[in-house]
Amino acid sequence: MTLLLDGKTLSENIREEISKRVKAITSKGYREPTLAVVLVGNDPASHIYVRNKRKACQKVGIRSLFYHLPENTTTPELLDLIAYLNSEEKVDGILVQLPLPEHISQQEVILSVSPRKDVDGFHPENMGKLVARIEGGFIPCTPLGIDLLLKHYRIDPKGKDVVIVGAGFIVGRPLALLMLWRDATVSVCHIHTKDITVYTKKADILISATGVPHLIKGDMIKEGAVVIDVGISKLGDKVVGDVDFDSVKHKVSAITPVPGGVGPMTITALLLNTLQAYEQNMGLKDVGL
């Protein structure tokens, strides 16, 4: 029997808990948590993700402020906005949707967000905490969502061979650090890997985050492996992942669907990070809340 790792239902349950926590705090007279969402340009997928994030915020009682800047925004203009949001006491979290237009320096933008408001966990201070295994930083949303999904289904990466396909900044690299934190033996494959099948075939837990539709086929996988599919691509009208679900599903012990697996967990992790930013900003733990 193959276990379907249902990120949609788990997300709904966690969001319910977040909503209860927000209600409990605001009913004591505290203001609501606030997330500033920044979108530059008109990438259609980014528009959808931002809309979904804002809807999710609204449902759990997090206020979201939306800053939609034109495609031709310059790096200094964007940095000015971020400096303002950093200084605003009532803004707990700042999220700059990626990818940014080519002419904007992603590096400068990431460095400019205050580490205490960096709910995406992209600032080097937060990435550094991931390297050093220091609690209390922000963990990037997709890696955190995957970690929560594995925990929920009692899949412990400790001592396992975890193979990550894709070494991107948003998922692959921070996920490798998080899986090391969880005591897994981690391999990361990328565009220059000679033969990814050598690695995928030995994975106890295989996580693919490439955006190449149906890259991972059944004959590339070890019998009984756990497969986590981070990819989201369009094939015609269908949303598909990196994993060729039909050829893989009978061979594995557990697998995430696309949609409804990692995607919703990414947004749930953002809500959790925003709640964490709010609680730290308001000093709620100091007053016993």
Ligand X SMILES: Nc1nc2c(c(=O)[nH]1)N[C@@H](CN(C=O)c1ccc(C(=O)N[C@@H](CCC(=O)O)C(=O)O)cc1)CN2
List contacts with ligand X (CB under 6 A).
49, 95-98, 120, 141-142, 170, 232, 239, 258-264, 266-267
Interacting partner of 141 out of Mg ion, ligand X, none (Cβ under 5 to 8 A depending on kind): ligand X
**80 has catalytic annotation:** no
Nearer to ligand X, 96 or 196 (CB): 96
The total number of residues written for the chain in this structure: 289
Nearer to ligand X, 193 or 233 (CB): 233
Segment 219-278, which members bind Mg ion (CB under 5 A)? 258-259, 261-263
Interacting partner of 170 out of Mg ion, ligand X, none (Cβ under 5 to 8 A depending on kind): ligand X
Amino acid at 268: T
**53 has catalytic annotation:** yes
Helix axes 172-181, 124-132, angle to 10 degrees: 30
Determine contact, residues 257/231, Cβ cutoff 8 Å: no
**55 has catalytic annotation:** no
| Minimum CB–partner distance for residue 285 and ligand X (Å) | 26
Q: Is 191 one of the annotated binding-site residues?
A: yes
Q: How big is the site for Mg ion, counted in residues (CB under 5 A)?
A: 5
Residue 240: how many other CB atoms lie within 10 Å: 18
Interacting partner of 266 out of ligand X, Mg ion, none (Cβ under 5 to 8 A depending on kind): ligand X
Segment 72-91, which members bind Mg ion (CB under 5 A)? none
Q: Is 167 one of the annotated binding-site residues?
A: yes
Determine contact, residues 159/287, Cβ cutoff 8 Å: no
Nearer to ligand X, 96 or 162 (CB): 96
Exactly one of 92, 120, 147, 244 is catalytic; which is it?
120
Residue 172: how many other CB atoms lie within 10 Å: 22
Interacting partner of 40 out of Mg ion, ligand X, none (Cβ under 5 to 8 A depending on kind): none
| Minimum CB–partner distance for residue 133 and ligand X (Å) | 22
Nearer to ligand X, 115 or 259 (CB): 259
| Minimum CB–partner distance for residue 74 and ligand X (Å) | 19
DSSP secondary structure letters along the chain = -PEE--HHHHHHHHHHHHHHHHHHHHTTTPPPPEEEEEEES--HHHHHHHHHHHHHHHHHT-EEEEEEE-TT--HHHHHHHHHHHHH-TT--EEEE-SSPPTTS-HHHHHHHS-GGGBTT--SHHHHHHHHHT-TTSPPPHHHHHHHHHHHHTT---TT-EEEEE---TTTHHHHHHHHHHTT-EEEEE-TT-S-HHHHHTT-SEEEE-S--TT-B-GGGS-TT-EEEE---EEETTEEE-SB-HHHHTTT-SEE--SSSSHHHHHHHHHHHHHHHHHHHHHTTGGGT-
| Minimum CB–partner distance for residue 201 and ligand X (Å) | 26
Interacting partner of 142 out of Mg ion, ligand X, none (Cβ under 5 to 8 A depending on kind): ligand X
Q: Is 29 one of the annotated binding-site residues?
A: no
Nearer to ligand X, 112 or 160 (CB): 112
| Minimum CB–partner distance for residue 138 and Mg ion (Å) | 22
Residue set of the binding site for NADP(+): 166-168, 191, 232
Q: Which residues of this protein are in contact with Mg ion, per CB under 5 A?
A: 258-259, 261-263
Q: Give catalytic residues, as residue numbers.
A: 53, 97, 120
